[in-house]
Amino acid sequence: MPQTPSTRWCPTPEQLMILEEMYRSGVRTPNAAEIQQITAHLAYYGRIEGKNVFYWFQNHKARERQRLRRRLCARHQQQAAAAAASPPIPPVAGGSSAGVVHPAVMQLHHHHPYATSFMPHPHPNLQATTFPPVYAAAGAGAGENEKQATVGGVEEWDAADTTSCGATASGGSSDEGGAALQLPPCCRRPLKTLDLFPTKSTGGGLKDECSSSKSSSCSTSTN
Amino acid sequence: MPQTPSTRWCPTPEQLMILEEMYRSGVRTPNAAEIQQITAHLAYYGRIEGKNVFYWFQNHKARERQRLRRRLCARHQQQAAAAAASPPIPPVAGGSSAGVVHPAVMQLHHHHPYATSFMPHPHPNLQATTFPPVYAAAGAGAGENEKQATVGGVEEWDAADTTSCGATASGGSSDEGGAALQLPPCCRRPLKTLDLFPTKSTGGGLKDECSSSKSSSCSTSTN
DNA sequence: GCAAATTAATGATTTATTCAAG
DNA sequence: CTTGAATAAATCATTAATTTGC
């Protein structure tokens, strides 16, 4: 089954690593242009499309947050449940990783174009940062499947927004782990969402996921 | 300034009319190809992009629903407030004209593909229905092929969901639109959101929008 | 009558949920 | 169970309506 009609993208370890690295470096919601570049970059390691990159970041961000929340919730519930009885309950305890292979080794080679100069040339134009969804597919002749490859055709869209890139360049460097790939200096906005809690809106707020009712997410890990 | 720096699309009356007509005809979440067509069509009346169409449907759908919800909520609250007094309160009143027929008028000028047959034929293959957002920029040859055209795929219906207010699903359908436009049976998922209760397997849960607490949505004066 | 100040709509983004493949 | 994919809900931001003061 060479032509796995796989309906969904299956990231290669390299791609995954790079993506994770980027994520750790601070990339959270790349815009169209950035996604294009990332995609082009990762395409070197295997089939991949822009939407995959997009979704990956979307999901990764969401799940990272969800995980945190869950843990906090669990903690709270435990506390609430256990009440004042056993204070120092080790939060996470068992790792119990299912089967995720062990990372560690995985030495890739970054010798593709891109490397240091991630951003070829800043787009002077720009206007819409990350744009919509669906509507895009259309034109993409997209033959049938495994066809993608060259996506670099920023033509009409040309997203790359410089406006938002205001920069800040806030340090960012956390534990990039060696300068593997440094994201383009043109990251998204100064910094937007990275909070642990959605404390942004004017009054909004905080959905009670931990509540006793719903419990769909925070309920015990049995699932 | 000659170049209207309008950052956002401002639909012309014609465009708006057509969009609304489509909406009423049942179009809810057009996929990429459909959006392309709609866009091409509407472009005749003024500047417009695929994303605008996408967003329009997205927003229109959401707000239509929100409006309904709000009404129901308000009604419920009223009921709750008024307490038990008038038992047989007709859920939705509405004369709901039995005539399903929708005007279908609107023939405007149609001088390009599209015309009456909105949806050509369903695409057997179909890869990504409505896909992601941002990443799009890529290829998207605005005018290039027609080989794929066709797509189809619309959405299923979703009249009034009641998910939040948990109303007892009474007939209803106040001023919604009737069915019309027969969309190609090329939907994707069997069913998405239409159940009265999120009886998901995981245990879902009922968000309380109408509840007294959060009240972010249903509350009257938000700001 | 017009123009700044408010408010109401609604276009555009982001976040949270949900579905289902692997 | 993990996670790619997709959708809906929530939010933000800008434009059009209105209102208000001169």
Question: Is the minimum CB–CB distance between A144 and chain B shorter than 8 Å?
Answer: yes
Q: In whole numbers, what is the pLDDT of chain B averaged over residues?
A: 56
- Structural domains in chain A, CATH included, are 13-83 (1.10.10)
Nearest to A129 by CA among A65, A181, A87, A187: A187
User: pLDDT above 70 covers what percent of chain B?
Assistant: 31
Q: If 0-12 CB within 10 Å is exposed, 13-18 middle and 19+ buried, where does residue A110 land?
A: middle
Minimum distance, in Å, between the CA of residue B158 and any CA atom of chain A:
19
Cβ <8 Å between A133 and B50: no
Minimum distance, in Å, between the CA of residue A172 and any CA atom of chain B:
23
Chain A residues touching residue B206 (CB < 8 angstroms): 213-214
Q: Sign (positive/negative) of CA torsion A39, A43, A44, A46? A: positive
pLDDT given for residue A64 in this prediction: 83
Residues A114/A22, Cβ–Cβ less than 8 Å: no
Cβ <8 Å between B137 and A216: no
Tell me the pTM.
0.48
Count CA atoms closer than 13 A to A68's CA, side-chain side.
10
Q: Point out the residue among B49, B51, B138 whose CB comes nearest to the CB of A36.
A: B138
User: pLDDT above 90 covers what percent of chain B?
Assistant: 21
pLDDT classification of B60: cutoffs 50, 70, 90: very high
Using the CA of A209, give the nucleotide whose C1' is nearest: C16
Q: If 0-12 CB within 10 Å is exposed, 13-18 middle and 19+ buried, where does residue B74 land?
A: middle
Nearest to A204 by CA among B66, B209, B166: B209
The 10s digit of each residue's pLDDT in B149-183 is 333 333 334 444 444 444 443 433 344 433 333 33
pLDDT given for residue B69 in this prediction: 81
A30 has pLDDT over 60: yes
pLDDT classification of A3: cutoffs 50, 70, 90: low
Q: A48 CB contacts (<8 Å, ≥6 apart)? A: A9, A11, A15, A39, A42, A148
pLDDT given for residue A72 in this prediction: 65
Minimum distance, in Å, between the CA of residue B139 and any CA atom of chain A:
5
Chain B residues touching residue A157 (CB < 8 angstroms): 136-138, 140
A98 has pLDDT over 50: no
Cα separation, B186 vs A111, whole angstroms: 44
